[in-house]
Amino acid sequence: MNRATWVDRHGRKMPDRPAVAEGTQVHATWGQLARTVAAVASGLREQLALVPGDRVAIVMRNRPEYLEAMYAVWHAGLVVVPVNARLHRDEIAYILTDSGTRAVVTDDEHAEDIAALVERVDTLEASVVAPGPQWDRLAAAAPTALADPAPDDPAWLFYTSGTTGRPKGAVLTHRNLLMASLSYFADIDAVSATESVLHAAPLSHGSGLYGLPHVARGAVSVFPSPDGLGGAELLSLVARWPGMSFFAAPIMVKRLATDAALVAGDLTGLKTIIYGGAPMYLADLEAALATFGPRLAQIYGQGETPMTITALSKADHADRDHPHWRERMQSVGFPRTDVEVRVVDRDDRQLSAGEVGEVVVRGDVVMGGYWGQPEATKEALKGGWLHTGDLGSFDDDGCLTLRDRSKDLIISGGMNIYPREVEEALLTHPRVTSVAVVGRPDPEWGESVVAFVVVDGPRPPLEELDRACLDRIARFKRPKQYLFVESLPTNNYGKVLKRSLRDMLHQDDASQR
């Protein structure tokens, strides 16, 4: 089943109900959206001579035309490559080349960069700026019928955020995206046509994926102003489009949780904030729960199994009397309905509760493989299980706690140290606002623990930071060095780039030699 079928159906069933909104204004009803999608699909096929299976990239900030382009690509039987528009031009060029993209839909802001890439990327033949006259020409084409891709045909090439080396294109099929959507209904929320989804984070990542179940049920897709969502705007959008859910990286939830307008505001119309993609520390989560109440749900996933491995539901967050509540709030929750999740050793043997190993996943939501990379695919899908590269352990209740990415693990004096627990300990210090712990090569210990610390106000004495650790974790895990920094390097999805921090340490070591 084609993912664009949902738009087509709603266009017939409820043509006058709002489908897409820009702020508080309706941008398109379902009838209008269905017509635009079918017309642009026809334009892509006829005017740009694209054939089923061809890749069409979208390089634009979140805006209504993004959604129109995405569903038009599917309607036409093509494959969408949503590219994070905040990437550098060379990074975008890499993705367009790797995916063999033939056409790009972009916006004014990126038009010049993309036009230059038409020369550089061999397969790239056309770029269309939306909104604008080129887009209008596509949208004026005579609507075409829905293409009929097979369930295992690629629908979305999801480029990993590249925290480790070059990004790879996870091939997400129509079946994968359907499973991710159904799984949302099973584990996160039911959705109805009177509700809404807010695209506050890039559509090329989690927000795009969580948009799917909302389109499936006919909810309104709402686009906030491009300047970064603030509390006052969120309140007005929630009032206009009640029953609102949105996906946000932990860093954004943290920022919104202390927004004065939201702390004091009426959040009745806010249904769910889905957070994930990076660790949410307990202190931040408690602040977010104080502001938002039981509206938070956590997901743990990867592009390779589109945001579907485990979840910590709203009910889990609200169950404060549970004897393991604190531990659960530091975990990533329970396996999703549609997947099997295991923790395995280096030889892929299943480990028992309490033992730490690599998290592996199997199910219909798991990607077909990496685009054009048979070796990496074989490695990632060894034995039919997706190897996530994340380390974790189950408890006796079946709740999964992530320790870290395997490459972030620090081994010092033969002991495993998981940066996350050191970070949690340091964050209990009232002046520490964020922290990242990495290993530094050490001739005696193999690696030693280094903490990059961001503080609010004057630097606390190092003994206080040591004390925060010694009160909570084993002595050998305490950082050997604290480095105070203004901010931590993050990628465009708000993930801390530990690789950059390690590189900084390496350079420092080299310059001292």
Output the CA–CA distances (angstroms, integers) from residue 149 to 1, 3, 98, 144, 173, in the order listed.
7, 9, 23, 15, 10
Assess 279 for contact with ligand AMP (CB under 6 A): yes
Cβ-based nearer residue to ligand AMP, 129 or 288:
288
The sheet that has 196-198: what strands, in order across it?
25-29, 18-22, 220-223, 196-198, 244-248, 270-276, 296-302, 305-312, 334-335
Cβ-based nearer residue to ligand AMP, 169 or 218:
169
Cβ-based nearer residue to ligand AMP, 13 or 407:
407
Assess 36 for contact with ligand AMP (CB under 6 A): no
Q: Are residues 226 and 61 in contact, defined by beta-carbon separation less than 8 angstroms? A: yes
Q: Please tell me the distance from the alpha carbon of residue 79 to that of residue 70, in angstroms, as a whole number.
A: 9
Assess 50 for contact with ligand AMP (CB under 6 A): no
Q: Binding pattern to ligand AMP, positions 354-393, x when CB under 6 A? A: ----------------------------------x-x---
Assess 195 for contact with ligand AMP (CB under 6 A): no
Using only C-alpha atoms, what is the Rg of the chain?
23
Cβ-based nearer residue to ligand AMP, 213 or 277:
277
Assess 204 for contact with ligand AMP (CB under 6 A): no
Among 32, 127, 272, 302, binds ligand AMP (CB under 6 A): 302
Assess 402 for contact with ligand AMP (CB under 6 A): yes
Among 48, 278, 283, 287, binds ligand AMP (CB under 6 A): 278
Assess 276 for contact with ligand AMP (CB under 6 A): yes
Among 86, 405, 467, 499, binds ligand AMP (CB under 6 A): 405
Q: Are residues 147 and 2 in contact, defined by beta-carbon separation less than 8 angstroms? A: yes
Among 157, 332, 386, 391, binds ligand AMP (CB under 6 A): 332
Question: CB 392 → ligand AMP: shortest distance, Å?
Answer: 9
Considering only CA atoms, which of 3, 2, 367 is closest in space to residue 172? 367
| Residues in Cβ contact with 224 at an 8 Å cutoff, skipping those fewer than 6 apart | 23, 62, 198, 199, 200, 233, 234, 237
Stretch of 70-78, 134-142, 210-218, 299-307 lying at the interface with ligand AMP (CB under 6 A): 299-307
Cβ-based nearer residue to ligand AMP, 82 or 276:
276
Cβ-based nearer residue to ligand AMP, 265 or 301:
301
Q: Are residues 323 and 170 in contact, defined by beta-carbon separation less than 8 angstroms? A: no
DSSP string of 66-95?
A: HHHHHHHHHHTT-EEEE--TTS-HHHHHHH
Q: Are residues 246 and 269 in contact, defined by beta-carbon separation less than 8 angstroms? A: no
Q: Please tell me the distance from the alpha carbon of residue 41 to that of residue 480, in angstroms, as a whole number.
A: 58
Q: Binding pattern to ligand AMP, positions 145-184, x when CB under 6 A? A: ---------------xx-----------------------
Q: Are residues 236 and 261 in contact, defined by beta-carbon separation less than 8 angstroms? A: no
The binding site for ligand AMP (CB under 6 A) comprises 160-161, 276-279, 298, 300-303, 332, 388, 390, 402, 405
